[in-house]
Amino acid sequence: MIVEGQIHGGIAHGIGNAMFEWMGYDAAGQPITTTFADYLLPTATEVPRIETLYKETPSPRNPLGVKGVGELGVIPAAAALISAIEDALSPFNVHIAQMPIMPHELVAMIERGEHQPQSL
């Protein structure tokens, strides 16, 4: 149960990194995202149902065979989500270079992109 929670939490964090968690600063270096009204986090409505599968491989480096799993889902979740968005928007020549990618930024990228009809 602990591993499951760590994996699910890491994936939720990766979704947040990809689409929500923007930390902004003004010209003087003061944070402008100072509350959860400004700094968005994914909630249960933004995180899909997750099914986890495991293959146990005990560590040979300690007597208990334990390993950490806390960060396991963060990086691949963000990368997979950004790749999926780029793939879905490939007809519009959208290429994402930084995260998080906000919805209004996606709309602007689509408007700037060159629509390329897909052949069947």
SS (H, E, C) 80-108: HHHHHHHHHCHHHCCCCCCCCCCHHHHHH
The highest-confidence range among 1-5, 65-69, 88-92, 111-115, by mean pLDDT, is 88-92
Task: Tell me the CATH number at 57.
Answer: 3.30.365.10
Closest CA to 54 of 12, 15, 6, 17: 6
Record the pTM.
Answer: 0.77
Q: Give the range of the structural domain holding residue 25, as residue numbers without chain letter.
A: 2-112
* Structural domain count, the chain: 1
* 70, part of any domain: yes
pLDDT value, residue 87: 96
* 118, part of any domain: no
Residue-wise pLDDT for 46-103, tens only, equals: 999 999 888 888 999 999 998 888 778 888 999 999 999 999 999 999 999 989 998 8
pLDDT value, residue 56: 84
* 120, part of any domain: no
